[in-house]
A and B are shown apart, each in its own frame.
Chain A
Amino acid sequence: MKSELTVNGRKIELDVEPRMSLLDALRDELGLVGTHAGCEHGVCGACTVIADGEAVRACLILAVQADGLDITTIEGLAPARGELSVLQDSFCETHALQCGYCTSGFLLAATVLLRRTENPSRAEIERAISGNLCRCTGYTQIIEAIELAAERLGHRNTNEPEGAA
Chain B
Amino acid sequence: MPDGATNTGIGASVKRVEDKRFLTGKGNYVDDINRPGQTYAYILRSPHAHAKINSIDTSAAKSASGVVAVFTGEDMQVGSIPCGWQVDSADGTPMREPGHPALAQGKVRYVGDQVAIVIADTLDQAKDAAEKINVDYTPLKAVVDLRDALADTTLVHDEIETNISYDWAIGDKAEVDAVFDGAAHVTKMDIVNNRLIPNAMEPRAAIGDFDRASGEYTLYTTTQNPHVIRLLMGAFVLSIPEHKLRVVAPDVGGGFGSKIFHYAEEAITTWAAGQIARPIKWTAERSESFITDAHGRDHLSHAELALDANGKFLGLRVETAANMGAYLSTFASAVPTYLHATLLAGVYTTPVIYCNIKAVFTNTVPVDAYRGAGRPEASYLLERLVDRAARETGLDQVDIRRRNFIPSDAFPYQTPVALAYDSGDYEATLSSALKLAEVDGFAARKAEAAGRGKKRGLGYSTYIEACGVAPSAVAGALGARAGLYESAEVRVHPTGSVTVFTGSHSHGQGHETTFAQLVSDQLGIPIENVDISHGDTGKVQFGMGTYGSRSLAVGGEAIVKATDKIISKAKKIAAHVLEASAEDIEFAGGNFTVAGTDRSMAFGEVALTAYVPHNFPHEELEPGLDETAFYDPANFTFPGGCHICEVEVDPDTGTVEVVSFTAVDDVGRVINPMIVEGQVHGGVAQGIGQALLEGCSYDEDGQLLTGSFMDYAMPRAHNLPSFKVATEETLCAHNSLGVKGCGEVGAIGSPPAVINAVVDALADMGVTDVAMPATPQTVWRAIQTAKS
Residues of A within 8 A of B (CB): 17, 19, 27, 32-41, 43-44, 46, 73-75, 77-78, 84, 88, 91-93, 95, 97-104, 107, 125-127, 129-130, 132-143
Contact = CB atoms under 8 A, between A and B. Distances in A.
A26 B16 CA distance: 28
Contacts of B714: 133, 135
B708 A43 contact: yes
Contact of A101 (B253, B675, B746): B253
Interface stretch (B199-207, B236-244, B261-269, B401-409): B199-207
A118 B199 CA distance: 34
B96 interface: no
Contacts of A97: 19, 22-23
Interface residues of B, number: 55
Interface stretch (B211-219, B347-355, B507-515, B586-594): B507-515
Interface in B9-33: 15-16, 18-27, 29, 31-32
A98 B717 CA distance: 16
Interface stretch (B186-194, B373-381, B471-479, B680-688): B680-688
Contact of B25 (A33, A126, A127, A136): A33
B551 to A, nearest CB: 13
Q: Which 5 pairs show the lowest CB-CB distances between chains A and B?
A: A34-B25, A100-B22, A101-B253, A138-B685, A99-B508
Contacts of A17: 124
Given A40-B285, A41-B708, A141-B678, 18 more contacts: A27-B31, A33-B25, A34-B24, A36-B201, A36-B202, A37-B203, A40-B287, A41-B709, A44-B286, A84-B24, A95-B16, A103-B22, A130-B718, A136-B678, A137-B685, A138-B723, A140-B720, A143-B717
Contacts of A103: 22-23
B360 to A, nearest CB: 28
Given A34-B27, A133-B714, A135-B201, A40 B508 contact: no
A43 B709 contact: yes
Of the candidates B24, B254, B287, B686, the one having the most CB atoms from chain A within 10 angstroms of its own CB is: B24
A95 B201 contact: no
Interface of B: 15-16, 18-27, 29, 31-32, 124, 199-203, 251-254, 256, 283, 285-287, 507-510, 674-675, 677-678, 681-682, 684-686, 708-710, 714-718, 720, 722-723, 746
A138 B254 contact: no
Contacts of B199: 135
B717 A129 contact: yes
A40 B27 CA distance: 20
A104 to B, nearest CB: 5
Contact of B20 (A38, A74, A84, A125): A84
B23 A91 contact: yes
6 contacts: A19-B124, A91-B23, A92-B20, A95-B674, A100-B18, A143-B722
Contacts of A104: 25
Given A40-B285, A99-B200, A100-B253, A139 B29 contact: no
A98 B24 CA distance: 14
Contact of A92 (B23, B124, B253, B287): B23
Nearest to A123: B718
B24 A75 contact: yes
Given A17-B124, A74-B25, A39 B685 contact: no
A129 B720 CA distance: 13
A138 B681 contact: yes
B722 A101 contact: no
Contact of B201 (A27, A102, A129): A102
A125 B285 CA distance: 29
A113 to B, nearest CB: 12
Contact of A100 (B27, B124, B674, B708): B27
A107 B717 contact: no
A155 to B, nearest CB: 20
B710 A130 contact: no
A39 B20 CA distance: 24
Nearest to B290: A39
B722 A140 contact: yes
B25 A133 contact: no
A35 B25 CA distance: 7
Contacts of A143: 717, 722
B681 A141 contact: yes
A133 B254 contact: no
Contacts of A92: 15-16, 19-20, 23
B24 A74 contact: yes
Contacts of A126: 717-718
Nearest to A85: B23
Contacts of A102: 201, 253
A75 B708 contact: no
A133 B720 contact: no
B685 A139 contact: yes
Nearest to B680: A138
A91 B746 CA distance: 22
Given A77-B24, A101-B29, A141-B681, A136 B286 contact: no
